[in-house]
């Protein structure tokens, strides 16, 4: 109970900012699992000791924070506790909040401001992670900002991939460049680049093949697409967004590492957080890859992809709703 008293006190004192309702709802399962584990660990305790820290480590691991990141957090907490042997459990939430906020990387991906002219975004990720859906939602966000957007269907080998992107194209009223199913993905990307330049497009979103992340041919294809777009604009792609299914927990780590080795990933998109209790993976992936999380998906709606904000995420995770 002391934990929740501490949370309420910090919130009233302004330590936590008010987070949005969509975000709170979107990570509700993660928050519930996290809160229940912490409540069980802190029950009946008044001070932070070695036994409590050992149990806290287990809480972090079972919350899919990841082994390496958990070790970092525990090392810092242990050092802090060794300096102040009279820390109360009411202070643990604040300490955890601080350490997690340091490890998380944030990036303002809501607006295209760093590039003059055409801004090219390559979107990668395994099948089923929500890659095509993410592209449609991003297209909607950019059009809402007044940008001229174009989609490129370079996932040409997966049955139905082109039609899936076409449906999103129609849904958000954004034009699509597509060739026949089975066409060379790099050719699609090149055709889209030339069309985008001709039509004065602001943002080009390129969908890519998403077979298994350990498929060497897939990784070679991604490199080929990158080389082709650089023939048109040497600095392109300006962003490489890796879409990961947050519900896969530790499997997302393996996917992220493989894609990062094949392409220079500049940002992460974690989808399907509304349907999982494994949202702790947000903290571990960002820390281990040292790549900013730019968006998180918290629902099926067109507006359920939100720019990631470290403090809003942690506020929603830690805030006491009772």
Instruction: Give dist(CA 54, CA 47) in Å, integer.
Output: 14
Instruction: Give dist(CA 185, CA 208) in Å, integer.
Output: 7
In angstroms, the Cα distances linking 93 to 175, 237, 256 are 48, 40, 29
Instruction: Give dist(CA 191, CA 314) in Å, integer.
Output: 42
Q: What is the mean pLDDT of the chain?
A: 81
SS3 8: helix
Is 3.30.43.10 the CATH classification of the domain at 2-103? no
List of the chain residues with pLDDT < 50: 1-19, 107-113, 322
Residue 18 has a pLDDT of: 42
pTM for this prediction: 0.82
Residue 320 has a pLDDT of: 63
Yes or no: say if 32 and 277 are a contact pair by the CB < 8 Å rule.
Answer: yes
Residue 20 has a pLDDT of: 57
Architecture per CATH, 119-312: 3-Layer(aba) Sandwich (3.40)
Residue 83 has a pLDDT of: 79
Residue 277 has a pLDDT of: 64
Give the number of other CB atoms < 10 A from CB of residue 238.
18
**Strand blocks (E) in 147-277:** 149-153, 176-177, 203-207, 239-245, 267-271
| Parts of the chain belonging to CATH 1.20.120.140 | 2-103
Residue 14 has a pLDDT of: 38
| Parts of the chain belonging to CATH 3.40.50.300 | 119-312
Sheet with 305-307, edge to edge strand ranges: 176-177, 149-153, 203-207, 119-124, 239-245, 267-271, 293-297, 305-307
Which two structure tokens, joined as six digits, stand for 110?
A: 């809501």
């Amino acid at each position: 109970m002391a934990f929740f008293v501490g949370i309420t006190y910090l919130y009233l004192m302004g330590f936590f900012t008010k987070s949005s309702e969509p975000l709170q709802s979107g990570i509700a399962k993660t928050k519930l699992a996290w809160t229940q584990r912490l409540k069980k660990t802190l029950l009946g305790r008044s001070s932070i000791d070695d036994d409590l820290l050992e149990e806290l480590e287990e809480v972090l691991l079972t919350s899919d924070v990841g082994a390496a990141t958990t070790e970092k957090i525990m090392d810092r907490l242990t050092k802090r506790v060794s300096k102040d042997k009279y820390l109360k459990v009411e202070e643990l939430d604040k300490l955890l909040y601080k350490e997690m906020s340091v490890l998380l990387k944030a990036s303002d991906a809501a607006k295209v401001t760093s590039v003059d002219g055409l801004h090219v975004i390559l979107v990668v990720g395994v099948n089923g992670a929500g890659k095509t859906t993410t592209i449609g939602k991003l297209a909607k966000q950019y059009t809402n900002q007044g940008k001229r957007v174009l989609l490129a269907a370079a996932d040409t080998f997966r049955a139905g991939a082109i039609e899936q992107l076409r449906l999103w194209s129609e849904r958000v009223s954004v034009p699509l460049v597509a060739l026949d199913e089975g066409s060379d993905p790099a050719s699609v990307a090149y055709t889209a680049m030339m069309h985008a330049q001709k039509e004065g497009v602001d943002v080009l979103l390129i969908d890519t093949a998403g077979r298994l992340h350990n498929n060497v041919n897939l990784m070679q294809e991604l490199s080929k697409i990158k080389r082709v777009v650089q023939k048109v604009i040497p600095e392109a792609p300006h962003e490489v967004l890796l879409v990961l299914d947050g519900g896969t927990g530790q499997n997302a780590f393996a996917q992220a590492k493989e894609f990062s080795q094949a392409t220079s990933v500049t940002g992460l998109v974690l989808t399907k957080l509304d349907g999982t209790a494994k949202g702790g993976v947000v903290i571990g992936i960002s820390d281990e890859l040292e790549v900013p999380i730019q968006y998180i998906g918290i629902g099926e709606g067109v507006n359920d992809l939100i720019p990631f904000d470290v403090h809003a995420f942690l506020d929603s995770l830690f805030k006491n709703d009772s």
